[in-house]
Structure 1
Amino acid sequence: MPLRILSALVLILLPCGDTCPEDLTVIEYGHAVLINCSSTNSPQNHKKIIIITLQTPLSNFVLLEKPKAVNMFPISDEKHWVEGTEYELQCNISEVAPVQNLTVRWYKDKVLIKTHSFTNTTKSPPSESSILKFRSNRTDHGAEVQCEAQLDFRPCGPRLPPFLSSTPFYISDPPDIANKTTEVHFVEEDSSVTLSCEADSLPPPNFNWTRDGVYMHEYTNNLTITKVNTNASYTCIASNYLGNVTKKILVYQRKNATTTPIVVITPADSPRNGTLLSFTLVSNCSLTLTPAKLVVKIEDPASVNCSTSNTDVDIIGWEVTQGGVTKANKSSVSWSVQKLNDFLPTPPKCYVTLGSGTQCEKSLHITVYKLPDNVSVSASPDAVMTEGKEHQLMCYISNVAPAQNLTVIWFQENKRVMEEKYSNSTLTPITVHSFFNVTAKREYNGTRFHCKAELHLGSDEQKIVPNVTSYSYTAIVNCKFSIQLLSADGNPPPVVHWFYQGKRINVSQPLSRNHTGEYTAELFNKLGRESTSINITIEYVPFFDCETHHEVRENDKLSSGCEPKGIPTPTITWLKDGKVFAPSHWTKDDSGKYVLRAENKYGTVDHTLYVDVQFVPKFKQGNERKEGNPDPRIQWKYTTAANVDVTPEGRQKTILITGATSTNAGVYICIATNNVGSVTRSVTLQIRVSYIIVVAVTLSVILLIIIIIFILCDPRKRGQYNFVPDHANDANDASGIPMTSKSNGVEA
């Protein structure tokens, strides 16, 4: 074999009889590699191929560039993140190749929460980034977020160690008091009482107290009052830099009372409203709540009716901290709220006071629930299973409440395979995880797993269990394929050799997607030889190997120029803005970003594609503006003149005629052209003379003609005359001078 030099790649090739192995070899940029090649004709005749300073791709070799750096940082500049606000973290991976073998995984406290793969087929080392969006929660305070970048060449090559970047993040939130309801303390005269104000915030709150509106020099969450001898109103104020919250506590002095007073909130027409009364509480309650227990979704409306069977009713009402009360009649009253937005509401209490001075009361039990924001299944830590090994699937359930009513059910295809119930007593939304262990079998390849989160809230009226189901996770199981399709018989037992494309193969080696084709088995013993052939198809999960930008023309049939590969042939679904997109032809308004989803029984893969719909230029109605894709080139055709200029204005061209005359009259043609086609529009210019000018000129011409005619047609004799008075011939005129006519000074 001759010596070859390919760019910076130097090969020293020595003949070795047979061809070298076709296994994929992964080599780092600038590193040397040594490949041994032996001849089957002569095992002792070992030769070597030496490859040094490999910087250019070669068949069966993949050049890798380990990331120069993996850096993670928040996109916003906040040092402390406010609870309930959405933020973004960005992970930058510098100069890594090949990108299509790169996987970025996001972890929170070592739990996988997102996986990001790349489809960029660029061979040179670019820089890539991955973004994680999340909504901050106080339970995440101090959690460590980790970004992991890893190059994976399996099943044909190695899986390199990951590169990591991690950071803790800290949540800030304003103070919150779990029970904001006004407290009432009845204290014996000269006794002591301790008032408690439990508030939670990040950073921790500062505390202040007021007594009847006057600030006190008390700065702790507990206030001890010694020797109570008067009624007073205390207010606790918890604050940090994000805000403050208050709680009111009433202290009443009690002097040897035989009955139990209580402060109540009643309907507006009740005579008890806002007053401190005395009555006797009884345990035998005649109140009925409908429904008996209230189950309501967060931020939904709610209502409960309270009624009594007693006829001697003085007052009936509700003690509530939110919503409104409607009195239906003397023995029935309803409480309602338009939006219940507290996971720990103060239980409303219905009471009735009878004419005998006794009171009966009953509290309403409220369960406020919230469905998860997201339920998803992922494999931890690998997305690909290996036959015979145990793998763990994780069901991620975010922001669900109350967790003590949560049940997670696992399904393999449509078969229920596991159920897990939770006992966490937290009533506010939390994020939980459920794990399902599965030992991979080759028949599990392409099997779909999903989980369902159900809230069993224990209400008698709950006919439908609130639930959220995850998308299916399709298992990919790596397993060894072996050619064991032939049963041979003979005596002596025959030897079987398998051949593919004319070369003998090792049947114990795994088959890849490139090994689909015809295989030949040769059987022989000392008595004879036989052969047979069989076609083997290697099925595999879909994948895309195409560009991310595609140009089409208006009215073309829907196509991408990007067909996925996979066996069985995958089905394709177009998605735009998360919705299925399925027109028969492209329109000019269809340009934009699309997701192509390819699916077969082994899995699903997405490919992001920007489609640029090109169309012939068009004139917009009412003016000479033009549109087209690509942008059209504009040209005017007209009779040139010194006072006509064409001026560009952005993508438009405008004709400007200064001091238009009749010579500028004519047809002006605008032509808009791009690589799809052209369109024209013509404008006819007519020069109009002012009516007043036309009339003035016409009258002037007529007047001039009249003057000329008058001069030419005058009948009087031309010449010079001398005139004398009429009495010149009078006899009394002494002059006696006769009149003489002359013409041009000559006597006539």
Structure 2
Amino acid sequence: MRKGLLWAFIVGFCVVYTVSECPIQLDPPSVVVRHGDPVSVNCTMSGEHKGIGWEASVAAVDMVTDVQFVTWRLEHLTDWNTGPRCYVNYMNNTEYAQCQEKLQLIVYKTPDSVSISVVNHTGPMVEGEQYQLQCEIENIAPVRNLTVKWYKGETLENQTSYEDLTKTPVNVSSTLLITPTSTDDGEQYSCVAELELGPEGPEPPPEDKSEPLSINVHYPPFFSNPDDEALEVTEEKEGVPLNCDAQGNPPPAFSWYSPSDHVEKVSQTLIISASLSPGDHVYTCTASNHLGENSKKFTVKVIPRGDQTVLWSLIGVGVGVAVLLIAGYVILKSRADGNSII
């Protein structure tokens, strides 16, 4: 039996109870301490008393009568449920009373490790399919103060908090569902375990981050410019390239085909022959990998050399007529204004 209770019994038939306003003060009233670190809290009674002390599972302080404060102190706090309470025996009006003040104590521990993996999957992901990422957090406390944050690159994707009141270290798992697209190829996902310990806790809040998980996304080919293309060349033009600019993962294979010219080559770029006959020539490029294929058309219009000569002649005549018309307008306007043109 503790000395405080023994003292109350010895004095006779006195009343021992907890009052609504306990005349003791804790300094500080609440403490956040890392597991294994030191802790020290004073309990002060401003008025007269018959005894003051600390009840705790570790480092309890026996009741003393000749002091105004007592200190609960540990060099290394390793107990998760110490439950420290300061108590005082004093005269309340004409009766003996005892009151207690519980220390608001949070003991925390950062995790041993934080890691991220893909559940039931290895190798590349496929665009449009769903995958589950899992974050494993080992030996963290208290879990009610834990927030798990998921990032894609530097962007916060999701976060989860917990209501478990367990004070001792536990293992925690968090999951994130993703449906990657081609733009996610090479993206890095990570998870962060953050302990939000309130205003008495350390700033910034303790956090541990996993190593990033880089994802490889496979997707069918697509064209940077999906529209069919058309271009004009003259008969003497040589080495006109047709660029089949397609992306895919795995990198696509390319094939070309033209019914009129019987061309079929495997290359991203086709250089058409300079000996093509006048008229339209249609080339189809197909990009393919194991996930699918995509095609687009290139229409090459070959213009005879004579047509080009006539065209440039007409352009020259048009330019000459335009110059004469402008000069005539300037002369007429100057005469109308009374000016002479030399």
TM category (shorter chain) comes to 0.5 to 0.7
Shift of residue 499 of structure 1?
A: 10
Cα distance in structure 2, aligned partners of 1:465 and 1:359: 38
CA contact 1:313–1:330 (8 Å) conserved in 2:
no
Cα distance in structure 2, aligned partners of 1:464 and 1:484: 45
Shift of residue 335 of structure 1?
A: 0.6
**Does residue 128 of structure 2 align to residue 392 of structure 1?**
no
Shift of residue 514 of structure 1?
A: 9.8
Shift of residue 410 of structure 1?
A: 0.9
**Does residue 97 of structure 2 align to residue 348 of structure 1?**
no
1:295 maps to a residue whose letter is V
Distance 1:513 1:340, change over 3 A: farther
Cα distance in structure 2, aligned partners of 1:401 and 1:412: 26
Find the residue that maps to 1:404 and give its secondary structure: helix
2:197 is matched with which residue? 457
1:373 is matched with which residue? 112
Distance 1:440 1:476, change over 3 A: same
2:36 maps to a residue whose letter is E
Cα distance in structure 1, aligned partners of 2:248 and 2:85: 75
Find the residue that maps to 1:489 and give its secondary structure: strand
1:300 is matched with which residue? 37
2:230 maps to a residue whose letter is D
* Counterpart mapping for 1:133-282 below 5 A: 263-264=1-2, 277=10, 279=14, 280-282=16-18
Find the residue that maps to 1:481 and give its secondary structure: strand
1:489 maps to a residue whose letter is A
Distance 1:403 1:511, change over 3 A: closer
CA contact 2:86–2:101 (8 Å) conserved in 1:
yes
Q: 1:316 aligns with which of 36, 52, 56?
A: 52
Cα distance in structure 1, aligned partners of 2:196 and 2:128: 37
Distance 1:331 1:461, change over 3 A: farther
Shift of residue 293 of structure 1?
A: 2.0
1:352 maps to a residue whose letter is V
2:75 is matched with which residue? 338
Shift of residue 527 of structure 1?
A: 2.1
Q: 1:478 aligns with which of 218, 230, 237?
A: 218
- For residues 302-346 of structure 1, the C-alpha deviation after alignment (integer angstroms, 9 at most, x for no partner) is 111101222x2232211233226498972111110122222222x
Distance 1:446 1:325, change over 3 A: same
Normalised TM-score (structure 1): 0.30
Cα distance in structure 1, aligned partners of 2:182 and 2:10: 77
Find the residue that maps to 1:521 and give its secondary structure: strand
Structure 2: tracts of 5 or more residues without a match: 233-240, 255-265, 284-342
**Does residue 97 of structure 2 align to residue 358 of structure 1?**
yes
Find the residue that maps to 1:446 and give its secondary structure: coil
1:520 is matched with which residue? 269
CA contact 1:448–1:475 (8 Å) conserved in 2:
yes
- For residues 45-72 of structure 1, the C-alpha deviation after alignment (integer angstroms, 9 at most, x for no partner) is xxxxxxxxxxxxxxxxxxxxxxxxxxxx
Cα distance in structure 1, aligned partners of 2:225 and 2:142: 56
Q: 1:421 aligns with which of 152, 161, 178?
A: 161
Cα distance in structure 2, aligned partners of 1:374 and 1:423: 21
1:350 maps to a residue whose letter is C
* Counterpart mapping for 1:600-619 below 5 A: none
State, as a whole percentage, how many aligned pairs show the same letter.
28
1:74 is matched with which residue? none
* Counterpart mapping for 1:63-82 below 5 A: none
Shift of residue 422 of structure 1?
A: 1.0
Normalised TM-score (structure 2): 0.62
Cα distance in structure 2, aligned partners of 1:344 and 1:525: 92
Cα distance in structure 2, aligned partners of 1:525 and 1:386: 45
1:589 is matched with which residue? none
2:270 maps to a residue whose letter is A
Shift of residue 276 of structure 1?
A: 5.4
Cα distance in structure 1, aligned partners of 2:193 and 2:149: 7
1:631 is matched with which residue? none
1:403 maps to a residue whose letter is V
Distance 1:425 1:289, change over 3 A: same
- For residues 665-696 of structure 1, the C-alpha deviation after alignment (integer angstroms, 9 at most, x for no partner) is xxxxxxxxxxxxxxxxxxxxxxxxxxxxxxxx
Shift of residue 511 of structure 1?
A: 4.8
Larger Rg: 1
Cα distance in structure 1, aligned partners of 2:77 and 2:111: 18
2:117 maps to a residue whose letter is S
- For residues 561-606 of structure 1, the C-alpha deviation after alignment (integer angstroms, 9 at most, x for no partner) is xxxxxxxxxxxxxxxxxxxxxxxxxxxxxxxxxxxxxxxxxxxxxx
Cα distance in structure 1, aligned partners of 2:252 and 2:153: 26
1:322 maps to a residue whose letter is V
2:319 is matched with which residue? none
2:108 maps to a residue whose letter is Y
Distance 1:359 1:499, change over 3 A: same
Cα distance in structure 1, aligned partners of 2:112 and 2:121: 25
1:351 maps to a residue whose letter is Y
Shift of residue 296 of structure 1?
A: 1.9
Find the residue that maps to 2:157 and give its secondary structure: strand
Cα distance in structure 2, aligned partners of 1:376 and 1:395: 6
Distance 1:511 1:465, change over 3 A: closer
Cα distance in structure 2, aligned partners of 1:431 and 1:287: 39
Distance 1:476 1:508, change over 3 A: closer
Cα distance in structure 2, aligned partners of 1:452 and 1:402: 16
Identify which of structures 1 and 2 has the higher relative contact order when contacts are C-alpha pairs closer than 8 Å and 6+ apart.
2
1:320 maps to a residue whose letter is A
**Does residue 198 of structure 2 align to residue 446 of structure 1?**
no
2:229 maps to a residue whose letter is A
Runs of 4+ in 1 over 6 A off after TM superposition: 272-275, 326-329, 507-510, 523-526
Structure 1: tracts of 5 or more residues without a match: 1-262, 267-271, 492-497, 532-748
How many corresponding residue pairs?
Answer: 253
CA contact 2:55–2:61 (8 Å) conserved in 1:
no
Find the residue that maps to 2:121 and give its secondary structure: coil
* Structure showing the higher helix proportion among its residues: 2
